[in-house]
């Protein structure tokens, strides 16, 4: 079994489609059977066509064996869904149904109801009634209701309904896929960063995940005892020598590593890449080599590496292997990214996970390092910012662990992009590698040596920066900022970049400002950001993040997403409609964590 087949051996959650119907016989139910079941089939076809699992396969939908007219059929449907591994449910109906007798009662499964907007039968009446029941029972559900009236013979799915079905299902699948997985903490707290104080209650109660822990000495043990695939190592070293260009050494000559030490570091960081992956997901090859326990892995969908300082003061840093695992390719070819949070910042790891599951793309881990006002840029470089950057820019830069997909060397419609791995060509992967140089690590930060990636993100990509923060008395809170990567003239970039560490990858990011609140200006975005790190996704996915956060009962404290793009459970409106941010906090507090 290949490592990628092994990675997904546990399978994926299914979407359950529940066609509900008026249970009255003698002509009423019979007249609705075909229309109701066809709604379910149309929904399943839409979602399977549009949505993909992390391995690239189409999403699988399971339809109830019959229309659901009462509690007996609802129970039979629930039993079928449980056996089939359904993690998300969508109820569809064109008519009145008996609400509390037909509703999905599983408290841990995200649920939505599509009530057909037609005048022949009151599907919208059922929708309102059952959503009221869900609210009364403390089971928040999403309501889907088309804006335009359809004829009863119209089997199409309107565009506005499509958008909500897809947005709900995408977020719901993310919730379901996280459940039962692990966050693997490799090491402990890094340099006093609060996000690396891993909160098991957060992962358990909000995400349904468990926490796994290993000491960083496990890397030493596996290197010394050769608990890795040496055949793969030799293949990897050949590929690294061919495609990973070593950049200039910026360290003072008297503290630079010798050539012999640098060559040993290359071998070490490649072995660390293999070991970290094997720690996360296991590797059947290790069992063949006699390491049965190590072959099991930790079922980790995301991980974090402490690194600084106990590791990096003595051993090569983790920048190379974090960057490679976070990318959509390595020496084994093009594949889905693994997710690793630098400095074991588990909260940034969590939003990396959110972004990856919503987009099936790699995520950029970065420091939110500096706000450059237009005035400051002009003072330092003489350049006047324009276009998307006219209000100022954020310098996103970290010690070389960001995904190489972030170079922007992949393209979509002729423009820079970050794509799901199944859309990436070998040429694009090689361009990402060619655009990256591997700089000998800054010995002031990393006394043990190693290599840091250095690249510049291409401008013009729509991006969304997000961050989770834990607040005592509230719990997790999500922040979202949509914007664009921007290009600067080469000499301007060089002047600004050299004021910090030029051996690390840079993304120049311009958030979209609204003139209000935390988005009154780019400065206000920086001033209100809750931590030193952020996760950056390709695309404007703020609306999907808001939907996902509401499913997990995590309030959003700042965002620049237009209100018409919001999609939250219908019950959120019962906590106030005039000020939706406050209603979000009240609803999340009232219903509590999804798994508590």
pLDDT tens, 236-263?
A: 999 999 999 999 999 999 999 999 999 9
* Cβ pair 473, 467 in contact under 8 A: no
Q: Output the pLDDT for position 596.
A: 86
- What pLDDT is attached to residue 122? 75
pLDDT in tens, 362-413: 999 999 999 999 999 999 999 999 999 999 999 999 988 999 999 999 999 9
pLDDT, tens digit, for every residue of 91-142? 999 999 999 999 999 999 999 999 988 877 777 889 999 999 999 999 999 9
pLDDT tens for 191-204 read 999 999 999 999 99
Q: Can you name the residues that pair with 538 across neighbouring β-strands? A: 463
- Quick one: pLDDT band at residue 578, thresholds 50, 70, 90? confident
Neighbours of 216 (CB within 10 A): 18
Give the per-residue pLDDT at 573: 95
pLDDT over 80 (residue 226): yes
The whole-angstrom separation of Cα 340 and Cα 322 is 6
Which contacts of 543-549 are long-range, i.e. CB under 8 A and separated by 24 or more positions? Answer: 543/167, 543/567, 544/167, 544/170, 544/171, 544/358, 545/354, 545/355, 545/358, 545/464, 545/466, 545/478, 545/480, 546/480, 547/167, 547/168, 547/170, 547/171, 548/171, 548/174, 548/175, 548/354, 548/358, 549/478
Q: What is the DSSP string of 502-550?
A: TTS-EEEEEEPP-SSGGGSSHHHHHHH--SSEEEEEES--HHHHHHHHH
pLDDT at 501 (0 to 100): 84
Distance from chain centroid for Cα 3: 22
pLDDT confidence of residue 210 = 97
Q: What percent of the chain has pLDDT over 90?
A: 92
Q: Give pLDDT, residue 275.
A: 98
The residues annotated as belonging to the active site are 343, 367
Q: What is the pLDDT of residues 264-322, one digit of tens each?
A: 999 999 999 999 999 999 999 999 999 999 999 999 999 999 999 999 999 999 999 99
Q: From the annotation, which residues make up the binding site?
A: 343, 367, 533
0.75 surpassed by pTM: yes
DSSP category for residue 6: H
Residue 132's pLDDT is 96
CA angle 453, 414, 541 (to 5 degrees): 70
CB 548 within 8 A of CB 351: no
486-503 pLDDT, tens digit per residue, is 999 999 999 999 999 888
Average pLDDT, stretch 212-221? Answer: 98
The rounded mean pLDDT for the chain is 96
DSSP string, 84-113: HTEEEEEEEESS---HHHHS---TTS-EEE
Prior bond to 309 cis, omega within 30? yes
pLDDT over 80 at 90, yes or no: yes
Under the banding of pLDDT at 50, 70 and 90, the label for residue 1 is confident
Binding site residue list for Mn(2+): 343, 367, 533
Residue partners of 305: CB distance under 8 A and separation at least 6: 186, 187, 216, 276, 311, 318, 322, 340, 341, 342, 343, 344
pLDDT at 153 over 90: no
What pLDDT is stored for residue 27 in this prediction? Answer: 85
For every residue of 237-293, DSSP letters joined together read: HHHHHHH-EE----S-GGGPPPHHHHHHHHHHHHHHHHHHHHHHH--HHHHHTT-TT
Nearest to 338 by CA among 373, 314, 362: 362
Residue 9's pLDDT band (cuts 50, 70, 90): confident
Q: For the chain, which domains are there?
A: 14-178 (3.40.50.1070), 182-591 (3.20.14.10)
Yes or no: say if 143 and 127 are a contact pair by the CB < 8 Å rule.
yes
pLDDT tens per residue across span 371-381: 999 999 999 99
Q: Which two tokens stand for residue 580?
A: 């939706």
The dihedral formed by the CA atoms of 341, 345, 351 and 353, expressed in degrees to the nearest 10: 40
């Amino acid at each position: 079994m290949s490592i990628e087949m092994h990675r997904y051996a546990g399978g994926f959650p299914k979407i359950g489609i529940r066609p509900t119907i008026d249970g009255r016989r003698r002509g009423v139910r019979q007249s609705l059977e075909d229309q109701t079941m066809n709604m379910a089939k149309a929904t399943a076809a839409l979602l399977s066509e549009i949505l993909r699992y992390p391995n690239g396969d189409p999403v699988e939908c399971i339809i109830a064996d019959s229309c659901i007219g009462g509690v007996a059929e609802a129970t039979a449907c629930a039993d079928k869904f449980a056996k089939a591994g359904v993690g998300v449910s969508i109820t569809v109906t064109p008519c009145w149904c008996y609400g509390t007798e037909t509703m999905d009662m599983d408290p841990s499964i995200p649920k939505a109801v599509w009530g057909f907007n037609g005048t022949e039968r009151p599907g919208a009446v059922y929708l309102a009634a059952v959503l009221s029941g869900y609210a009364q029972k403390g089971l928040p559900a999403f309501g889907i209701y088309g804006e335009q009236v359809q004829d009863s013979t119209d089997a199409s799915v309107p565009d506005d309904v499509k958008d909500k079905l897809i947005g709900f299902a995408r977020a719901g699948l993310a919730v379901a896929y996280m459940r039962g997985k692990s966050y693997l903490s490799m090491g402990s707290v890094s340099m006093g960063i609060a996000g690396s104080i891993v909160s098991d209650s957060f992962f358990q109660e909000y995400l349904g995940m468990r926490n796994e822990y290993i000491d960083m000495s496990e890397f030493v043990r596996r290197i010394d005892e050769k608990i890795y695939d040496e055949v793969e190592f030799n293949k990897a070293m050949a590929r690294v020598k061919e495609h990973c260009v070593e950049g200039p050494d910026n360290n003072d000559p008297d503290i630079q590593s010798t050539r012999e030490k640098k060559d040993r570091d290359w071998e070490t960081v490649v072995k660390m890449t293999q070991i970290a992956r094997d720690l996360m997901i296991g590797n059947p090859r290790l069992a063949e080599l006699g390491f049965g326990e190590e072959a099991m892995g930790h079922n980790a969908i995301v991980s974090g590496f402490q690194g600084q300082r106990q590791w990096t003061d003595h051993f090569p840093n983790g920048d190379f292997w974090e960057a490679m695992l976070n990318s959509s390719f390595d020496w084994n070819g093009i594949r889905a990214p693994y997710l690793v949070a630098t400095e074991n910042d588990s909260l940034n790891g969590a939003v990396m996970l959110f972004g990856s599951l919503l987009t099936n793309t790699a995520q950029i881990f970065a420091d939110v390092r500096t706000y450059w006002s237009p005035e400051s840029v002009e003072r330092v470089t003489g350049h006047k910012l324009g276009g998307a950057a006219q209000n100022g820019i954020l310098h996103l830069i970290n010690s070389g662990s960001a995904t190489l997909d972030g170079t922007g060397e992949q393209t979509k419609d002729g423009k820079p992009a970050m794509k799901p791995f199944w859309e990436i060509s070998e040429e694009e992967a090689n361009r990402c590698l060619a655009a990256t140089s591997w700089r000998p690590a800054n010995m002031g930060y990393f006394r043990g040596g190693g290599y840091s990636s250095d690249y510049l993100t291409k401008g013009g990509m729509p991006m969304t920066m997000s961050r989770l923060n834990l607040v005592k008395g509230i719990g997790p809170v999500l922040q979202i900022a949509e914007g664009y990567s921007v290009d600067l003239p080469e000499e301007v970039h060089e002047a600004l970049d050299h004021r910090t560490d030029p051996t690390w990858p840079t993304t120049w990011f311009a958030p979209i400002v609204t003139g209000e609140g935390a988005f009154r200006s780019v400065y206000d975005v920086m001033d209100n950001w809750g931590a030193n790190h952020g996760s950056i996704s390709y695309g404007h996915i703020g609306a999907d993040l808001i939907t996902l956060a509401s499913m997990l009962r995590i309030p959003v404290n700042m965002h620049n997403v237009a209100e018409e793009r919001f999609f939250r459970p219908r019950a959120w409106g019962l906590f106030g409609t005039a000020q939706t941010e406050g209603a979000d906090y009240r609803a999340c507090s009232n219903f509590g964590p999804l798994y508590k």
